[in-house]
Homo-oligomer: A and B are copies of this chain.
Amino acid sequence: MSNQKIPVGILAATGAVGQRFVQLLVNHPWFEIAAVTGSARTVGRPYGEGVNWLLDGDVPENIARMIVLPTEPGAHLDVPVLFSALPTAEAKELEPLFAAAGYAVLTNASPYRMDPYVPLLIPEVNPDHSQLIPYQQAQYGWQGFLVANANCSTTSIVLPMQILHQAYGLESAVVVTMQAISGAGYPGVASLDIMDNVIPHIGGEDGKLETEPRKLCGRFAAGQIELADFVVSAQANRVPVIDGHLGSVSVKLREKATAEQAIALFQNWQPDPLVRQLPSMPEKVFIYRAEENRPQPRLDRNAGNGLAWTVGKVRPCPVNHIRFMAITHNTLRGAASGSVLNAELLVLQGFIKDRG
């Protein structure tokens, strides 16, 4: 890397996910926030005035002074990389236009996650799926490209699933999630709905949990992603927890394995060597905990600066083969950070060019 940072923009920077992008990028060693966009209400005002800051502490001073730009593909944002925190409908309309216009678009939005030419990327799970990028550019005639990160609840459970899948082959998984309120954005879940309560429904989430893992654990070959041949059944629940999506998973394997083998596998697993070099990568990104009462959202969501998976309760399943529970921090790992890590990976892989 040269010493010069790569300027980046944040689309919809004033929302809940956008704020996380600001927080994550403000002191990033490789990237530098050079543009923030927002809705009509905030355009033209300093970011610090337009934003309803939801995170700890204050808006970083230099960002607070930046003038919010409109989110228009023709806005000629002078940055090569865009992090998109756009809501679903706008993401669907605008992200292809930005990609066509030459930007590297890293999105947290869902519309193109299952598009056969858009990599659904998690560096620790499927770093090689970025090979889809040139095929995407050829297919859609784009100068830039679009890379998506996974749904935050999918993220929580997919890495341990992939580890087992690569070792033993996954046949099926029965999943129940207990998801944090911050996953619904702001204002999101009404307190009258969730205090002293569980809501056994999150719109569209069961479907994402049942399909995204098949793409993430799929195989890149001949210019496309072959979906993994396992079946997932999911029940997503909202619980009165601020951050951290916890998932309970029971898996059937193609090649039977014991809980001891699964534990050993989890204890020794390491991400790809290239992935270990990502500047945001924590020292330990996949943590196995042996205590019978872990993982817990409040105690484990911040592991590895909020970027790590924590897995526990690994034991034989009387019905299938193995049961386990996994957690990640949904707004740190699941959303904004997922895109930042993807951008870092794409720099190392040469898809995003260094300024040097």
Spell out A's residues near B (CB within 8 Å). 16, 54, 56-57, 172-174, 176, 178, 181-182, 186-201, 210, 231-233, 235, 237, 239-242, 246, 248, 250, 252, 292-299, 302-303, 312-313, 317-320, 323, 325
- Do A54 and B192 have beta carbons less than 8 Å apart? yes
In Å, the complex CA distance between A298 and B293 comes to 25
Determine if B198 and A178 form an interchain contact, defined as CB atoms under 8 angstroms apart.
yes
**Distance between A178 CB and nearest chain B CB, rounded to angstroms:** 5
Q: A200, B248: Cβ atoms under 8 Å?
A: yes
Query: Which B residues lie within 8 Å of A178 (CB)?
Result: 178, 198, 237, 239
- Separation of A16 and B193 alpha carbons in the complex (Å): 12
Q: Whole-angstrom distance between the alpha carbons of A199 and B293 in the complex?
A: 6
Least Cβ distance of A4 to chain B in Å? 29
Residue of B nearest to A176 (CB): B176
CA distance A158 to B282 in the complex (A): 40
Determine if A197 and B298 form an interchain contact, defined as CB atoms under 8 angstroms apart: yes
Return the chain B residue nearest A250 by Cβ. Answer: B174
Q: Which residues of B contact A200 (CB under 8 A)?
A: 246, 248, 293-296, 312-313, 325
A187 touches B186 (CB 8 A): no
CB distance from A59 to the nearest CB of B (A): 12
Chain B min CB distance to A138 (Å): 34
Nearest 7 pairs between A and B by C-beta?
A187-B190, A201-B293, A176-B176, A233-B319, A197-B298, A191-B191, A172-B319
Residue of B with least CB distance to A55: B299
| A248–B240 touching, CB < 8 Å | no
- B292 and A201 within 8 A (CB): yes
Residue of B16, B174, B176, B240 touching A241 (CB-CB under 8 A): B240
Of all chain B residues, which has the CB nearest A287?
B58
Chain copies in the assembled complex: 4
Name the residue of chain B whose CB is nearest to the CB of A56. Answer: B302
- Give the chain B neighbours of A320 by CB distance below 8 A: 174, 233
How many Å lie between the Cα of A164 and that of B176 in the bound state?
21
Give the residue of B16, B195, B246, B250 whose beta carbon is less than 8 angstroms from that of A181.
Answer: B195
- How close is A122's CB to chain B, nearest CB, in angstroms? 22
**CB pair B196 A192 closer than 8 Å:** no
Q: Which of B57, B189, B292, B294 contacts A191 (CB 8 A)?
A: B189
When distances are taken between beta carbons in the complex, the residues of chain B under 8 Å from A235 are 176, 248, 250, 313, 323, 325
Min CB distance, A240 to chain B, in Å? 5
B residues less than 8 Å from A297 (CB atoms): 196-198
Point out the residues of chain B lying under 8 angstroms from A250, CB to CB.
Answer: 174, 233, 235
Which of chain B's residues have a CB closer than 8 A to the CB of A172?
A: 319
In the bound complex, residues from chain B placing their C-beta under 8 Å from that of A294 are 200
Given the complex, which residues of B lie within 8 Å of A312, measured CB to CB?
200
Question: In the complex, are the beta carbons of B192 and A190 less than 8 A apart?
Answer: no
Q: Which residues of B lie under 8 Å from residue A296 when comparing CB positions?
A: 197-200
B313 touches A201 (CB 8 A): yes
20 extra interface residue pairs, beta carbon distance < 8 Å, beyond A195-B298, A235-B248: A16-B192, A172-B319, A178-B178, A178-B239, A181-B192, A181-B195, A186-B192, A187-B192, A188-B192, A189-B191, A189-B192, A196-B240, A196-B241, A197-B297, A198-B239, A200-B246, A200-B295, A200-B313, A201-B293, A252-B319
